[in-house]
Amino acid sequence: MCGRSSLTKTEKELEARFKASFYSEDLEKYNPLPNYNVAPTHVMPVIKNKDKDHFAPLRWGLIPFWAKDHKIGYKMINARIETLHEKAAFKQALQKRRCIIPMDGYYEWKKMGKGKVPHRIVLKDREIFAVAGLWEKWKSPMGEAVESFTVITQDASASIVHIHDRMPAILTCDAESVWIDEGISTQDALSIIHPYADEQIRAYPVSKRVGKVSENDAELIEEVVDGALPGAQTALF
């Protein structure tokens, strides 16, 4: 499961990386960057297959178009790649509404003794990477249109499976354009997703404060040495 991530870069860095631009009104309304502790329900920039040249602000936690209310989105933050074809919430989106989700890290909790220690998992070059996702448009009973997304997950790479057995489906740079190509079949799109290369991944322990959604500052992504960062407080999670 991937329930927390980070995107600490500027909009200019994202625009340069993905050759896509932000709409000014979206930046003014949502001000999504930087976010050191992205959590479900947060609105974050993604690139949809329907508009590859722009970032769109989508809510994390997919709300199927047939849902009666938005609460189902809390259960739809991840989508297992092995069962995408089987799930009513995902199978149509897999065919018609694929997206890429920018991140520069994500968090998982490793069981240690009677507790859990949060780790941040990044690419060794600390650069932005893209995760395969699905998006959906839902209309509330009041007529409000809400666009949302889910993170596709797969088996973890060997170097991090001791932390958690699942990981986001990180795409190689060559695979990014394929994933959101509407001319590519579902089968071909899924065939480009593989566990990311072990030698390019790094995991390190971070402050337990990341377990609290309200905590969101640059210290959260710093590596913990000898148990805790100076001045950090333990949060229950």
Residues 6+ apart with CB under 8 A from 95: 186
Would residue 82 show up in a list of annotated catalytic residues for this protein?
Answer: no
Two tokens, residue 22: 């932000």
Two tokens, residue 116: 């859990």
Whether the CB-CB separation of 74 and 40 falls below 8 Å is answered with yes
Annotated active-site residue in 99, 108, 136, 176: 108
Give the Cα separation of 209 and 217 in Å (integer): 10
Would residue 108 show up in a list of annotated catalytic residues for this protein?
Answer: yes
Give the Cα separation of 71 and 175 in Å (integer): 32
Question: DSSP labels for 61-100?
Answer: S---TT-SSGGGGGG-SEEEGGGTTT-TTTHHHHHH-EEE
**Residue type at 220 in one-letter notation:** L
Two tokens, residue 157: 């790479």
Give the Cα separation of 189 and 181 in Å (integer): 8
| Kind plus residue range of the DSSP H or E element containing 119 | strand 115-123
Residue positions annotated with a catalytic role: 2, 108
